[in-house]
Amino acid sequence: MIGNLPFVAAMVLVVLGLWTLMTRRNLIKLVVGIVLIENGVNLLLVSLGYVRGGVAPIYTYAPEGTPVDIPMVMPTPQALTLTSIVIGVATTALLLTLAVLIHRHRGTLDVRKIRELRG
């Protein structure tokens, strides 16, 4: 049961993020919502690779005389998560830049007041 907690936490983060996106009207809070979803997905990815009692997946550094039945942690999900975090930083930076630009032009961050593009 306790092993499933990371997955539950990931789902909670995603749902919180979606809820933020749907209910908030401030551009910065929308960005926060997206970052929440992103973190939820990253948490799911990294929990997928967890192996109880596993060792680092580097053959040359494995403990001396490692028996075959000590499993190694999956390296792929960690690489994926790192990549995804880096991508997330880039997209978040772009989102915040755009929010700053919009604020500079319109003087507000409220989406209800900025919708110049409609229809």
The interface mask with another protein, positions 45-74, x = CB under 8 A, is: x--x-------------------------x
Give dist(CA 66, CA 53) in Å, integer: 13
Q: Please report how close the Cβ of residue 87 comes to another protein at its closest, in angstroms.
A: 5
State yes or no: residue 80 binds another protein (CB under 8 A). Answer: yes
Binding region for another protein (CB under 8 A) out of 35-43, 50-58, 65-73: 35-43
If the CB atoms of residues 18 and 55 are measured against another protein, the closer one turns out to be 18
C-beta atoms surrounding 42 within 10 Å = 19
Distances (CA, A) of 117 to 65, 75, 82, 101: 66, 45, 36, 16
Q: Please report how close the Cβ of residue 35 comes to another protein at its closest, in angstroms.
A: 10
State yes or no: residue 119 binds another protein (CB under 8 A). Answer: yes
Q: Helix H segments across the chain?
A: 5-23, 27-48, 75-106, 111-114
